[in-house]
Amino acid sequence: MKAIAYTQHGLPIDDPAALVDLELPTPTPGPRDLLVQVQAVSVNPVDTKVRMNSAVKEPRVLGWDAVGMVQAVGSAVTLFKPGDEVFYAGAINRPGSNSEYHLVDERIAGPKPRSLGAAQAAALPLTAITAWELLFDRLGVPEGGGEGQSLLIVGAAGGVGSMLVQLARQLTRLTVIGTASRPETAQWAKDLGAHHVIDHSKPLLAELEAIGIPQVDRVASLTQTDRHFAQLIGALRPQGQLALIDDPAALDARALKSKSLSLHWELMFTRPLYETPDMIRQHELLTRVAQLVDAGTLRTTLAETFGTINAANLRRAHALIESGRARGKVVLEGF
């Protein structure tokens, strides 16, 4: 089968060897696996981080978001059958989805939204899972709850931010404040439902004062947490909550003490990585996301399509992610 992999970590993305086309054997499903013929994939910051930082002894296929059709199932599969269309974000400790055929555990796959094409659906899984788990599992906001409370989303126009804005606006009563630093990304966040959008290239406390919300109840810091950390602590009300998904080099948690602030990490790969007892929750929440999309409550966050799935186009997509200027999601479709 066709696949795209890296064979040496740390190469700059403008090096043709950073990602290469190759042929690999078609994998065989294990007991809980689906063998999926991949139709479309999207690219996330995790793809670029793994390519740059994880050494390999043999070619490693990247890619986690995928949409495709089930071709075969393992002996213990009960949730899907051959011919079903699925979407999912995969597991970080297994080969990725940048290949013609891919294995995924049925417990972390959902039925593709019927109202979307493959490219539109491929934009959703990883960011939807991350945003859902962050909002409802880590921060503990109940659906329909949050009346009179506020959520500040740092990086609201990125992939996760684009989903978190929608979930918070559509499924809770929180006042949603997004951050963006360019007119086009600010408008993107507003179009997705943010009540307010402020500029994270300026002092956040002054920006919050300007919209009449000097303190917030919860913060979702999706990018550059180390840069904004002191301001986020200043912006949070006493007994507030700070959740993050990025990888700051260091954080001094003692700064949270005087306000009794709580700190929450979100990594959507945790459940499949450790095969937690509640691993099937990702199947359940993707099923719910598909229903919400088909009902018109949520929309795809597809921003750009970069052509077919090959090394050259994936290098272009990685370059855009690494530039920090992406909004929404970049998708590739077909081989």
Q: Could you tell me the CATH number of the domain that includes residue 166?
A: 3.40.50.720
pLDDT at 295 over 90: yes
Q: What was the pLDDT predicted at 325?
A: 85
Across 306-321, average pLDDT: 97
The domain boundary residue, chosen from 232, 265, 298: 265
Total number of domains constituting the chain: 2
Residue 257 and residue 283 share a domain: no
Q: Are 35 and 104 in contact (CB under 8 A)?
A: no
Adjacent-strand bridge partners of 2: 23
Residue 81 and residue 8 share a domain: yes
Residue 152 and residue 260 share a domain: yes
Q: Are 4 and 99 in contact (CB under 8 A)?
A: yes
Residue 143 and residue 53 share a domain: no
| Domain CATH code at residue 92 | 3.90.180.10
Residue 251 and residue 167 share a domain: yes
At 319, the pLDDT band (50, 70, 90 cuts) reads very high
Domain that holds residue 14: 2-124+272-333
Residue 146 and residue 119 share a domain: no
Residue 298 and residue 203 share a domain: no
Residue 196 and residue 80 share a domain: no
At 158, the pLDDT band (50, 70, 90 cuts) reads very high
Residues 6 or more apart from 257 whose CB is under 8 A from it? none
The domain boundary residue, chosen from 214, 233, 265: 265
Residue 203 and residue 99 share a domain: no
pLDDT at 216 over 90: yes
Q: Give, in degrees to the nearest 5, the angle at Cα 280 between 49 and 64.
A: 25
Residue 222 and residue 190 share a domain: yes
The domain boundary residue, chosen from 265, 289, 307: 265
